[in-house]
Structure 1
Amino acid sequence: MIALKSRHEIERMRRAGNVVAEILALLREKVRPGMTTLELDAIAENECTKRKARPAFKGYGGFPFTICASPNEKVVHGFPTSEPLIEGDILSIDFGVVLDGFFGDAAVTLPVGPVGAAKERLLATTEKALSLAIDKANAGGRLSDISHVVQSYAEGQGFSIVREFVGHGIGRQLHESPQLPNFGPPGQGPRLKVGMTFAIEPMINAGGPAVRILSDGWTAVTVDGFPSAHFEHTVAVTEHGAEVLTRL
């Protein structure tokens, strides 16, 4: 069962999403060589406190931080550390909040100074895949239309899709039904309806699709050591098409 949200509930999700967007925009400004991801985590938690929002990830399933910080070959769920970022890194930041009983969730992959053409192309492709996926989140379509456009675009650009981690429904819970893979044929799955809300989140690798989990039990890395990118927005299906709830 996919929960349908009322206009009032989507408005509450919009407020949560706006907090996510504001704080991610602030973190984007702070990412530079010499900054540590632990410092970014502290900034994010402090900004949540200012806005009377609760970090969505901290304590979720035992995750100990406010943000997921995943540089370079780390795909998702990376622990913030005291290791300084260096020029040429890329850094994926996944971040969410709960506000007034509703969740917002978004992610962005950022360059740390100049990163070179190959990493720039990976970031641009992943962000474009997210944009194409959002365009498919329209009433009357099928859930797998979103999945298929991510896979077809990314693989058409010579990249690979992470299979182990997927997007998801979102609302009163961080993870609701359904799961939303970034791969698969079109025209399958539930028909999209007004009031559905999803966290759409392509994770795309420069090398092969295989990932493994580090000894911390959380951090996923590419098996071949090639970099990975992750972009995400919380999206509502409305009468007028897809609305991004985590965009300023």
Structure 2
Amino acid sequence: MSRKVHALNKTAEQKITCGPAQPDSTLTAARQPMRHRAGMPRIKRKRDALPTLNCTTGGFRLRDGRLHLAGGIILTVVWSRGLPSAPSSVRVYRDSLGHWHCSFVVATEAEPLPPTGRAIGIDWGVRETATTTSGTHDLPHAEHGKTAAQKPARHQRQMARRRTPKTRPDTKGYRAHTTMDCARCGARAKHALPLSERTYSCTACGAESPRDRNSAHVMLTRAGLNPASADLVSPVRG
């Protein structure tokens, strides 16, 4: 068989192979590096990853407000708040801005906030970071990139420190079909809105409102919280 193929290859423009050489050529093409193959995910190299260190109970201890790690490493920690109990593990890592952080795992009990009689609906969107039923608590988009990493962190600190005696965020997640339901009459659109369409228009009652604000009102009424301060939104039908 090999002599016959060799004789044909003398006059043929396209060379052919015989035996296992033919499937080998197919496997060789499949073994090309991923950077030469379209549509394949990139491999995250270890040298490109940010440094991090995880230690359990036997690998660290706290003494006089300082963190002692295995290997004689002593770190002076700037505490954001006190630890409610003894930590079971710690993670030391560096963020994209070059700042070092320590994250402790502790056991704690949830303390529910006292009821205020008021509620607010929050929708985390694409164009805006957060759109609420109250315009005073909306958060604009903080943009992307390493240079903008400080902005969302600042917004998170503001939300954590903000205390309003008359408003309490509703943390229940009722996100299914929130962009399709009308916050005024409860009618549901036949098709989901594309992300490029930022205004919600109801074909049943004719109501129009920003897409994210309509979703925030829908989540608020689904949670059973429908105060008069929420622009008299009608409950969504089941």
For the aligned pair, the TM-score class normalised by the smaller chain equals under 0.3
Larger Rg: 2
- TM-score where L is the length of structure 1: 0.23
| TM-score (normalised: structure 2) | 0.24
Between Structure 1 and Structure 2, the one with more strand by share is: 1
Question: Which structure ranks higher in relative contact order (CA pairs < 8 Å, sequence separation ≥ 6)?
Answer: 1
